[in-house]
Amino acid sequence: MKTLRCLIYFFSMISVSYPAAAIETIAREAILIDHETGTVLFAKDADKPMAPASMSKMMTVYMLFERLRDGRISPDDAFSVSETAWRKGGAKSGSSTMFLDPGKRVRVEDLLRGIIIQSGNDACIVVAEGLAGSEEAFAVEMTRRAREIGMNDSTFKNATGWPDPDHVMTARDLSTLAVRTIKDFPDYFHYYSEKEFTYNGIIQINRNPLLYKEMGVDGMKTGHTEDAGFGLTATAKRGERRLVLVVNGLANKKDRAAEPERLLEWGFREFNNYALFKASETVAEADVWLGESPTVPLIIQKDMVLTMPRAARPGMKVTVNFTNPVPAPIEEGAKIAVLTITATGQEPIEAPLVAGAGVKRLGLFGRLGTALNYIIFGNAG
Asked if 54 is an active-site residue, the reply is yes
Query: Model pTM?
Result: 0.86
- What is the percent of the chain with per-residue pLDDT over 90, rounded to a whole number? 78
Measured CA distances, 22 to 43, 76, 308, 315 (Å): 11, 49, 14, 21
Q: What is the pLDDT of residues 54-65, one digit of tens each?
A: 999 999 999 999
Domain ranges of the chain: 2-14+276-377, 29-250
Please say if the pLDDT value at position 349 is more than 50.
yes
Higher pLDDT residue, 306 or 345?
A: 306
Q: How many helices (H) and strands (E) does the chain have?
A: 8, 18
Per CATH, the number for 29-250 is 3.40.710.10
- What is the percent of the chain with per-residue pLDDT over 70, rounded to a whole number? 88
Q: What is the pLDDT of residues 307-321, one digit of tens each?
A: 888 877 676 788 999
Q: Please give the average per-residue pLDDT across 326-351, as a whole number.
A: 87
The interaxial angle of helices 135-148 and 57-69, nearest 10 deg, is 80
Q: What is the pLDDT of residues 55-101, one digit of tens each?
A: 999 999 999 999 999 999 999 999 999 999 999 999 888 899 999 99
Give the per-residue SS3 of 156-206: CCCCCCCCCCCCEECHHHHHHHHHHHHHHCCCCHHHHHCCEEEECCEEEEC
For the chain, give the mean pLDDT. Answer: 90
Give the per-residue pLDDT at 281. Answer: 95
Query: Given CA atoms 334, 336, 342, 346 in this order, what sign does their dihedral have?
Result: positive
Of the residues 57, 88, 157, 221, only one is catalytic, namely 57
CB within 8 Å of 1: residues ≥ 6 apart: 289, 323, 324, 325, 327
Of the residues 15, 82, 119, 175, only one is catalytic, namely 119
CA–CA dist 220, 210 (Å, integer): 10
Q: Reduced to 3 states, what is the DSSP secondary structure of residue 132? A: helix
Superfamily classification of domain 2-14+276-377: D-Ala-D-Ala carboxypeptidase, C-terminal domain (2.60.410.10)
Strand residues in the chain grouped as ranges (E): 2-9, 29-34, 40-44, 78-80, 105-107, 196-199, 202-205, 217-225, 229-238, 241-250, 271-277, 282-289, 295-300, 304-309, 317-324, 326-327, 335-342, 349-355
Of the residues 17, 54, 96, 154, only one is catalytic, namely 54
CA–CA dist 332, 297 (Å, integer): 10
Confidence of residue 13 (pLDDT cuts 50, 70, 90): very low
Asked if 119 is an active-site residue, the reply is yes
CA–CA dist 58, 162 (Å, integer): 13
CA–CA dist 323, 326 (Å, integer): 6
Please say if the pLDDT value at position 5 is more than 70.
no
DSSP state of 27: S
Give the per-residue pLDDT at 12. Answer: 31
